[in-house]
Amino acid sequence: MLFSDEQWAEVCPLLPMYKSSPKGGRPRLEKRKIFEGILYVFKNKIPWKGVPKVYGSGTALNDYFREWSKKGVFHQIKDRHYSIVLNLDWDKVEELNNSYHPKI
Q: Where are the domains of the chain?
A: 1-6+29-104
- What pLDDT was estimated at residue 49? 92
Give pTM, 2 decimals.
0.76
- What pLDDT was estimated at residue 57? 93
Judge contact between 51 and 61, C-beta under 8 A: yes
Nearest to residue 95, comparing CAs of 37, 35, 47? 47
Judge contact between 45 and 98, C-beta under 8 A: no
- The one-digit pLDDT tens for each residue of the chain (104 residues) are 667 888 888 889 999 987 777 776 666 788 999 999 998 888 888 899 999 999 999 999 999 999 998 888 888 887 776 655 566 666 666 666 665 444 43
Residues 86 and 94: their CA atoms lie apart, in Å, by: 16
- What pLDDT was estimated at residue 104? 39
